[in-house]
Amino acid sequence: MNWNQLTDIAQLETIDRDSATQPILIFKHSTRCNISSMALARVERSWNKQTTNLPAPYYLDLIKHRDISNSIAERYEVEHQSPQVLVITNGRCIYSQTHSAISVEEMLEETQQG
């Protein structure tokens, strides 16, 4: 799985712009949390098994970039969680899930409906 590293708040502008033509995935990961590591591994395994039209997803290390995580929560009107996956379409969050509820299959269904 090829991740775009989310390391600058300004990248949220790019995400919003690009989300006008295709859904964008953001995975918020806590490198200090075993549950987050398990969720990340599950996403990566499932992603590789899927045929998707989604662009390379964004990965956020929220320990290093808590400011970006806070901006994401405010910008997309979602409560901060970790681990958390969001799908952005037309500059808004159409799907958000956390912890063991994170599912690539469900996320893909939502992007096709969104």
Q: Which domains occur in the chain, in start order?
A: 4-113 (3.40.30.10)
114 in Cβ contact with 105 (< 8 Å): no
pLDDT digits (tens, 9 = 90+) for 1-18: 789 999 999 999 999 999
41, amino acid identity? A
| pLDDT (mean) for 8-35 | 93
State the Cα–Cα distance between residues 73 and 77, nearest whole angstrom: 5
- Per-residue pLDDT of 38-86, as tens digits, reads 999 888 888 765 555 666 789 999 999 999 999 999 999 998 888 999 9
